[in-house]
Amino acid sequence: AGTAAVIPAAGRGVRLGPGAPKALRALNGTPMLIHAVRAMAASRAVSLVVVVAPPDGAAEVKSLLDTHSLPERTDFLVVPGGDTRQESVKLGLDVLPPGIDIVLVHDAARPLVPVDTVDAVIEAVRDGAPAVVPALPLTDTVKEVEPRTDGSPEPVVATPERARLRAVQTPQGFDRDTLLHAHETVTDGVTDDASMVEQLGKPVVVVPGHEEAFKVTRPLDLVLAEAVLARRRA
Ligand code: C5P
C-alpha cells in the first residue's frame, strides 16, 4: 500500500501576468513548483511525486528537481502535460506504478499547503472515503449571475445560502481505482477531480482546509505567498 501525489503544473498562468509558466515562477527565490513538491514530500506517507510539466518544459522541471534539496525517501517522476488540467492529471496517472493505492492530486499553484492538511486528506481516504477534498467556509457572499460578454451589467439569478458553501482546495485524495475510473468515464470540462467522482455517483467528503493552501492566481497572491514564507522563516 502506498500513496503518490500527482502535481499538475502545466498551466500558463495568464491571470498572473506575463512571464514564465506559473509553476516555474519564484517565491522568495524558489520556484513555486519546488515549494509544492516539498509540501507533498513532507508527508511521510507520500512515497512518489509525479510532476506534470509544461509540454515544452519537462527537461527544465527535471533539472529543477535535481538542483533543489528534496527528501531522499521520496521518488520523483516528470511527465509532459496536456492542453487542459484534466488531460494533464490523466497523463500523470498513466505513469503510476503498481502498489500505489491512494492518489493525491495537488495544484502546483497551491505551494504552501501545510503537511497536516495533506495528512488529514490521506487519513480520510484510508478510513474508506473514495474521494476527499479539503475545503473552507466562504467569507464572501456568492451570487449566481447570467454571464454577459458585452460588458453590460450582469443580472443576478440566485444567492446560494453561504453557510452551505465551501471553497475547495487541494490536495484532493482518492482511492486509486476510483480516480482512474473517473478519468476513463467522465469527459465533461471540470475544474477539479472530485467533481468527476461526483458524476460517477460516488461519495465525496470534505475535511478542513487551511488558509495557507490558497491558490496563487493573481499578482496579489504572490505578495501574500511571499509574506507567508517570510513569516515561516522568522
Ligand atoms: O488554471 P488553474 O488555476 O485551474 O490551474 C490549476 C493547476 O492546473 C495549476 O497548477 C496548473 O499548472 C495546472 N494545469 C495543468 N495543465 C493545464 C492547465 C492547468 O497542469 N493544461
CATH assignment at residue 109? 3.90.550.10
Could you tell me if 98 and 171 are in contact, meaning their C-beta atoms sit under 8 angstroms apart? no
The pLDDT profile of the chain, 234 residues, written as one tens digit per residue, is 799 999 999 988 778 888 888 889 999 999 999 999 999 999 999 999 999 999 999 999 999 999 999 999 999 999 999 999 999 999 999 999 999 999 999 999 999 999 999 999 999 999 999 999 999 999 999 999 999 999 999 999 999 999 999 999 999 999 999 999 999 998 777 888 999 999 999 999 999 999 999 999 999 999 999 999 999 988
> Which among 32, 84, 88 is the best mutation to test ligand 1's pocket, defined by most ligand atoms within 8 Å of the CB?
88
Which atom of ligand 1 is least distant from the CA of 8?
Answer: 20
* Ligand 1 proximal residues by C-beta, below 6 Å: 8-11, 22-23, 52, 81-85, 88, 107-109, 191, 217
Strands 131-137 and 46-53: unpaired
The CA 150 to ligand 1 mean position distance, Å, reads 27
User: Cell 498513466, residue?
Assistant: 94
The CA 111 to ligand 1 mean position distance, Å, reads 13
Domain range spanning residue 174? 2-233
Residue 139 makes CB contacts below 8 A (sequence gap 6+) with: none
State the total domains in the chain.
1
ipTM above 0.90, yes or no: yes
Alpha carbon 147 to chain centroid, angstroms:
27
118 is written with which cell numbers?
Answer: 495533506
Strands 75-80 and 46-53: parallel
Could you tell me if 134 and 48 are in contact, meaning their C-beta atoms sit under 8 angstroms apart? no
DSSP secondary structure letter of residue 58? H
Strands 166-168 and 172-175: unpaired
> Which among 107, 190, 192, 221 is the best mutation to test ligand 1's pocket, defined by most ligand atoms within 8 Å of the CB?
107
pTM score of the predicted model: 0.95
